[in-house]
């Protein structure tokens, strides 16, 4: 959080100080698609070295480009248009299928780029099971996803889990398509 605040301050200062810099910093980024490849400059490095100095000394221009826009959104906005995609499951299954694995690899790339993010993985089920059992099923789905991410080297404290069973369907329908949409592990960014 502190890093982000600082990046915000530098950006503000840039607006005050810089001429051409201003346009470089605050121009609207292109709409962000989850498929856009990461920018050439890794923000994680910048964030880990950024320290506040004196307000009197203009800092060096922050390296903000393109889709790093994610860093300046509040959590509600970020979760409304999240770069982290849901992982879907087969009926009554807690196993990751190939589509789920490739989604998770995408999400892992995002989480590597935004190393300050803390997430909660929500396990959800379709409406066909009983509400009590589905709490356990959703729990297992969330944990399976978390365990996969942990094998990729993520810090366990960044990834929490919760089950909502069938309480919050994404798709209100009552057919195969809706059920498939609702059997999911949903990613929520809780800190950035």
Partner 1 sequence: MKTLKPLHQIIHALLLTCACLGGVGMIFVQQPDESETKPPRQRSAIDLVIGDRIGAQPRLAVPDCIAVTRDDASQSAATSMAEVLWNDLDFEREFRMVPRDTYASIDPARSITNLALDAWRELGADGVVSCAVERIREDQIRVTARLFNVRSRGSTFGVEYTGALANTRIYAHQLSDEIHRNQRGLKGIARSKIAFISDRDSTSALGLVEYRPTKEVYFTDYDGFNLRRVTVARTLNNNPAWSPNGLAIAYTAWRPYMDVIVSHIFEGRLETPANGTADAQNWLPAWSPDSSQLAFTSNRDGQPEVYVINANGTGVRRLTNHPSIDTSPTWSPQGHQLAFVSDRSGAPQIYVVGVNGTGLRRITFESHCDRPTWSPAPYNEIAYSSRTGPGHDIKVVDLATNEIRQLTFGLGTNESPSYSPNGRHIAFSSTRGTGNKQIWIVGRDGRGLRRITATGNNEMPSWSP
Q: Among 20-28, 40-48, 59-67, 158-166, which window interacts with partner 1 (CB under 8 A)?
A: 158-166
**∠ at Cα 97 (167, 158), nearest 5°?**
65
Residue 133 lies near partner 1 (rule: CB under 8 A): yes
> Which DSSP letter does residue 60 get?
P
> Which DSSP letter does residue 118 get?
E
Nearer CB in complex with partner 1: 33/76: 76
Nearer CB in complex with partner 1: 25/78: 78
**H or E segment to which residue 185 belongs:** strand 184-191
**Tokens for 160?**
């929490």
Exactly one of 32, 136, 158, 181 binds partner 1 (CB under 8 A); that residue is 136
Q: Half-sphere exposure (CA, 13 Å, Cβ side) for 175? A: 2
Residue 21 lies near partner 1 (rule: CB under 8 A): no
First and final C-alpha spacing in the chain: 6
Q: Among 22-30, 53-61, 64-72, 126-134, which window interacts with partner 1 (CB under 8 A)?
A: 126-134
Exactly one of 84, 121, 135, 145 binds partner 1 (CB under 8 A); that residue is 135
Residue 91 lies near partner 1 (rule: CB under 8 A): no
Place of tokens 């300046």: 72
Shortest spacing between CB 163 and partner 1, in angstroms: 7
Q: Among 1-9, 38-46, 96-104, 139-147, which window interacts with partner 1 (CB under 8 A)?
A: 139-147
**H or E segment to which residue 49 belongs:** helix 43-49
Handedness of CA 45, 49, 53, 58 (dihedral sign): negative
Q: Would you tell me which residues interact with partner 1 (CB under 8 A)?
A: 75-76, 79-80, 92, 128-133, 135-137, 139-140, 143, 160, 162-164, 167-168, 186, 188-190
């Amino acid at each position: 959080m502190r890093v982000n605040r600082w990046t915000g301050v530098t950006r503000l200062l840039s607006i005050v100080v810089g001429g051409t810099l201003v346009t470089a910093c605050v121009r609207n980024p292109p709409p962000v698609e989850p498929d856009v490849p990461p920018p050439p400059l890794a923000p994680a490095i910048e964030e880990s070295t950024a320290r506040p100095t004196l307000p009197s000394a203009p800092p060096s221009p922050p390296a903000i480009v393109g889709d790093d826009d994610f860093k300046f959104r509040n959590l509600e906005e970020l979760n409304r248009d999240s770069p982290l995609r849901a992982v879907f499951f087969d009926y009554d299954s807690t196993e990751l299928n190939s589509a789920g694995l490739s989604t998770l690899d995408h999400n892992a790339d995002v989480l590597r780029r935004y190393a300050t993010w803390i997430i909660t993985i929500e396990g959800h089920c379709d409406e066909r099971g009983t509400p009590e059992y589905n709490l356990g099923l959703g729990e297992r789905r969330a944990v399976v996803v978390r365990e996969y991410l942990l094998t990729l080297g993520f810090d366990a404290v960044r990834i929490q889990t919760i089950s909502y069973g069938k309480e919050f369907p994404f798709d209100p329908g009552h057919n195969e398509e809706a059920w498939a949409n609702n059997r999911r592990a949903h990613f929520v960014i809780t800190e950035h």
